[in-house]
Amino acid sequence: MIIEQTYRLLKTKYKDKVENLSISEVRMGLFITAVRLSDNSYGTSATLVDDFHHCMKSSRDFGEYTPLKIRGTKVCDLFETNKESNTILTLKTAVLSAISSGILSSGNYKILENCDPVDLLDLGSQKTITIVGAFQSYIKKISETGNRLFVLELNENALTNEQKQYYVPANDYKSVLPDSDIVIITGLTLVNRTIDGLLSAIDKKTKVIVTGPSSSIIPDILFANKVNIIGATRITKPDILFDVVSEAGTGYHLFEYCCQKICILKGDER
């Protein structure tokens, strides 16, 4: 798994830093989760919600990684727990984002400031482009070009009526990804762990972008697995980040109020 491999890489290269880290604060909003670690680094992730609908009393969970039992948790314990939940998947991604934030600013990676990855694409020639996730701005921009477009999405109603001509059920990814020239993947696939299967179906010659508030992790493992560009998030105003998240903030709210878009490029990208 990309997330677990990235954590192992961080633990190997930055052992002293990772082993001493703990979660100081967490805010799990409707759409975005934000964490602050004990070194005052911040990270974000899309929020995956556990289904507690009609939860039987015997199934109620008051154990680790439930309310009032997250703050103070050591990062290494989070990644080594055998417990499984969407809350834990969300926390792991946000924590990796926080750890990665300082490392990404070290100057060891090729980063473009204030840049959206779609702006780096050549959309002027006839290509087959697949978007994984209903990125409305990307769908609009690409659909206005002469390129062939597919949108892989779990929920068809996430697309407008005009956009449904591009819809492909998410489980049918193997029918479109192998023949795509460009694939744009939502960072949510890192959180829910579906990205590995998607990447395995993509041809090595395809240009692959992973983007969104969940994508801000060090890129080494992603770059080793066919990804060319990462559309990441740099938190510029951590003092209001938690307020935005708590008030049902989404990705575009982050970029409006407290975050900056950056692109992390693989060495041979321009």
- The answer for residues whose C-beta is within 8 angstroms of residue 138's C-beta and 6 or more apart is 118, 131, 184
- Extract the tokens encoding 167: 């819809």
Model pTM score: 0.93
C-alpha count within 13 angstroms, C-beta hemisphere, residue 134: 17
Q: Which residues of the chain have pLDDT under 70?
A: 52-54, 268-270
- The answer for residues whose C-beta is within 8 angstroms of residue 108's C-beta and 6 or more apart is none
Q: Calculate the CA dihedral of residues 102, 15, 91, 114 and round it to 10 degrees.
A: 20
Residue 114: what pLDDT? 94
Residue 35: what pLDDT? 98
Residue 59: what pLDDT? 77
Residue 54: what pLDDT? 63
Nearest to 94 by CA among 145, 48, 50, 137: 48
Residue 267: what pLDDT? 76
Residue 269: what pLDDT? 66
In whole angstroms, what separates CA 35 from the centre of its chain? Answer: 14
pLDDT single digits (tens) 104-142: 988 789 999 999 999 999 898 889 999 999 999 999 999
Residue 107: what pLDDT? 78
Helix axes 2-13, 86-104, angle to 10 degrees: 40
State the residue for tokens 């002293």.
16
Residue 270: what pLDDT? 58
Rg (CA), the chain: 18
Residues recorded for the chain: 270
Nearest to 69 by CA among 88, 97, 95, 56: 88
> Which DSSP symbol is given to 50?
P
User: Domains (ranges, CATH) in the chain?
Assistant: 2-104 (3.30.390), 110-245+252-265 (3.40.50.11590)
pLDDT single digits (tens) 31-62: 999 999 999 999 999 999 877 666 777 778 88
